[in-house]
């Protein structure tokens, strides 16, 4: 039997040029567990439980994670990481693969002796910095509120995967990294939030879309995996209290389902308006807000069509609304400290809520209540101290003068 492939001990590096200087001189002809005998500088990284041997090394100021596996697995996982990156899913930065031929193996089988190629491969990724270790994530007596911030990050990762047609197949806390990231909120600046990153892409499958059954089985798998993650962390003395109570799993399921439905609503909003929600509006986090925004856009379309004496297409109206109404209003709101007062809201959420508040109040009182009353009522839930940095009269003046410009952009029920 002829065995083709690499020569014994031959090493094949599939690494981009820019990384070669850091990686070419590592002892690829030795097993990873023996690298400590070969002057390799290791970096201390807290990693999740793993089946494979994973080591973190430093070379010329760069840190890499190296996983020892088979060529088939390493190449598949590398391709998965590249694909996930293209889909803008938060994941590790893939670097490359190193394969080593370990000679041939004679295997006795019932039909005679077989010769198998014996090879090892290394998957290389960049070490993800500033990751919060599990021991900090689930400190003793962590409040439900702080745990929910972690669940929100986990749910966000699942939503990005599932709405892009990705089935992970191995979802667990051990395969995620959680860290603080800076999120840019359109029209409101940026804020820090927790984000979960996919850190084991071996089993990832990418489809045009995935079924509801697959999505839900993934969430169930994750919830089950928390039981063994908890057992593992308890065994190592890291956590003592349950990490996942009934309240936690209900929170994850409910919020995941809500966010997924909301995601679908926003995708259809994007289809008809061609407004990139994440980049232009920021996360819209309440079901029904997509429909409300579309209502505003349709009213704007009506106004533009009346003014121009001809039908203006929806996409054109949507972009006109975005530049001429949405952005200026958000700028007024943030310019008057509303972003600081509502640190959890995006500009689009604030925009919808204030306009909607006025609309509902007017409906209740069977007459236009005006923006001043609506804003005061909306802000009424805050104490005087919290409102100290906000001058309501000047905010109202700015909004009123915007909406009553000589050429008002919108002629509809939302006017002050």
Ligand X SMILES: Nc1ncnc2c1ncn2[C@@H]1O[C@H](COP(=O)(O)OP(=O)(O)O)[C@@H](O)[C@H]1O
Closest approach of ligand X to the CB of residue 278, in Å: 25
DSSP state at residue 175 = G
Applying CB under 6 A, the span of 122-130, 160-168, 319-327, 390-398 interacting with ligand X comes to: 122-130
CA distance 187 to 271: 22
406 CB-contact burial (10 Å; exposed 0-12 / middle 13-18 / buried 19+): exposed
The tally of CA atoms less than 13 A away on the side-chain side of residue 248 is 22
**233 contacts 136 by C-beta, under 8 angstroms:** no
Look at residue 182 and give the partner it binds from ligand X, Mg ion, none, a contact being a CB closer than 5 to 8 Å depending on partner kind.
Answer: none
Residue 354 binding: pick among Mg ion, ligand X, none (C-beta 5-8 Å cut-off by kind)? none
Q: How far is the CB of 194 from Mg ion (least distance, A)?
A: 20
Site string for ligand X, 167-186 (x = CB under 6 A): -------xx-x---------
* Residue 47 binding ligand X, by CB under 6 A: yes
Which one of residues 152, 187, 200, 356 is an interface residue with ligand X (CB under 6 A)? 200
Rounded to whole angstroms, the Cα distance separating 173 from 177 reads: 8
CB of 167 to ligand X, least distance (A): 17
For ligand X, the binding residue among 68, 187, 202, 299 (CB under 6 A) is 202
Q: Which stretch binds ligand X (CB under 6 A): 143-151, 199-207, 258-266, 357-365?
A: 199-207
Judged by CB under 6 A, the number of residues near ligand X is 20
Work out how close the CB of 68 gets to Mg ion at its nearest, in angstroms, rounded to a whole number: 13
50 touches Mg ion (CB under 5 A): yes
Query: Which listed option, ligand X, Mg ion, none, makes contact with residue 125 (CB within 5 to 8 Å by class)?
Result: ligand X
127 or 185, CB closer to ligand X?
127
C-beta closer to Mg ion: residue 124 or 399: 124
Residues composing the chain = 416
3-state secondary structure 125-149: EECCCCECCHHHHCCCCCCHHHHHH
Contacts by 293-299, CB closer than 8 A, 24 or more apart: 293/269, 293/348, 293/352, 294/269, 296/321, 296/325, 296/355, 296/410, 296/412, 296/414, 297/273, 297/321, 299/410, 299/411, 299/412, 299/413, 299/414
Part in contact with ligand X (CB under 6 A); list of ranges 16-24, 45-53, 187-195, 351-359: 45-53
Closest to ligand X by CB, 63 vs 104, is: 63
Q: Is 355 left (phi over 0), alpha (psi -120 to 50) or beta?
A: alpha
Minimal distance, residue 112 CB to Mg ion, in Å: 37
Other CB atoms within a 10 A radius of the CB of residue 110 amount to 4
The sign of the CA dihedral 338, 342, 348, 350 is negative
Q: Which residues contact 290 (CB under 8 A, 6 or more apart)?
A: 262, 265, 266, 268, 269, 284
What is the phi/psi pair of residue 277, to 5°? Answer: -55, -55
Tell me: does residue 80 bind Mg ion (CB under 5 A): no
What residues from 165 to 224 belong to the interface with Mg ion (CB under 5 A)? Answer: 175, 200
Exactly one of 125, 229, 346, 349 binds ligand X (CB under 6 A); which one?
125
Closest separation in Å from C-beta 303 to ligand X = 52
**48, 165, 263, 328: which one binds ligand X (CB under 6 A):** 48
Query: Which residues in this chain contact ligand X in the complex, by CB under 6 A?
Result: 45, 47-48, 50-52, 54, 65, 67, 92, 125-128, 174-175, 177, 199-200, 202
């Amino acid at each position: 039997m002829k065995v083709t492939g690499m020569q014994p001990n031959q090493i094949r590096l599939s690494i981009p040029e820019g990384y070669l200087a850091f990686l070419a001189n590592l002892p690829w002809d030795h097993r990873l567990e023996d690298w400590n005998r070969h002057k390799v500088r290791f970096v201390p990284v807290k990693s999740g439980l793993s089946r494979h041997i994973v080591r973190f090394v430093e070379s010329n100021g760069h840190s890499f994670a190296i996983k020892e596996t088979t060529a088939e697995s390493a190449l598949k996982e590398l391709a998965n990481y590249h694909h996930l990156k293209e889909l803008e899913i938060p994941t590790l930065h893939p670097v490359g693969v190193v394969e080593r031929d370990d000679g041939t193996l004679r295997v006795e089988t019932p039909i005679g002796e077989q010769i198998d190629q014996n090879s090892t491969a290394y998957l290389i990724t960049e070490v993800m910095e500033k990751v919060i270790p599990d021991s900090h994530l689930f400190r003793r007596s962590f409040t439900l509120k702080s745990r929910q911030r972690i669940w929100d990050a986990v749910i966000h990762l699942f939503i990005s995967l599932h709405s892009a047609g990705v089935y992970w197949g191995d979802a667990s806390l051990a395969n995620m990294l959680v860290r603080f990231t800076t999120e840019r909120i359109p029209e409101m600046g940026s804020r820090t939030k927790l984000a979960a990153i996919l850190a084991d892409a071996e089993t990832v499958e990418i489809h045009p879309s995935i079924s509801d059954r697959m999505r839900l089985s993934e969430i169930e798998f994750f919830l089950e995996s928390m039981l063994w993650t908890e057992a593992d962390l308890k065994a190592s003395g890291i956590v003592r209290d349950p990490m996942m109570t009934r309240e936690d799993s209900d929170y994850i399921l409910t919020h995941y389902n809500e966010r997924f439905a909301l995601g679908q609503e926003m995708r259809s909003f994007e289809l008809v308006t061609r407004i990139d929600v994440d980049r232009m509006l920021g996360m819209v986090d309440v079901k029904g807000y997509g429909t409300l925004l579309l209502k505003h856009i349709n009213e704007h379309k009506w106004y533009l069509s009346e003014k121009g004496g001809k039908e203006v297409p929806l996409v054109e109206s949507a972009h006109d609304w975005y530049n001429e109404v949405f952005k200026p209003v958000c700028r007024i709101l943030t310019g008057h400290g509303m972003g600081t007062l509502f640190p959890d809201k995006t500009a689009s959420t604030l925009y919808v809520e204030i306009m909607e508040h006025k609309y509902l109040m007017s409906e209740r009182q069977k007459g236009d209540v005006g923006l001043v009353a609506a804003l005061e009522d909306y802000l009424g839930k805050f104490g005087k101290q919290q409102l100290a940095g906000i001058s309501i009269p000047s905010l109202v003046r700015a909004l009123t003068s915007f909406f009553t410009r000589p050429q008002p952009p919108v002629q509809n029920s939302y006017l002050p």
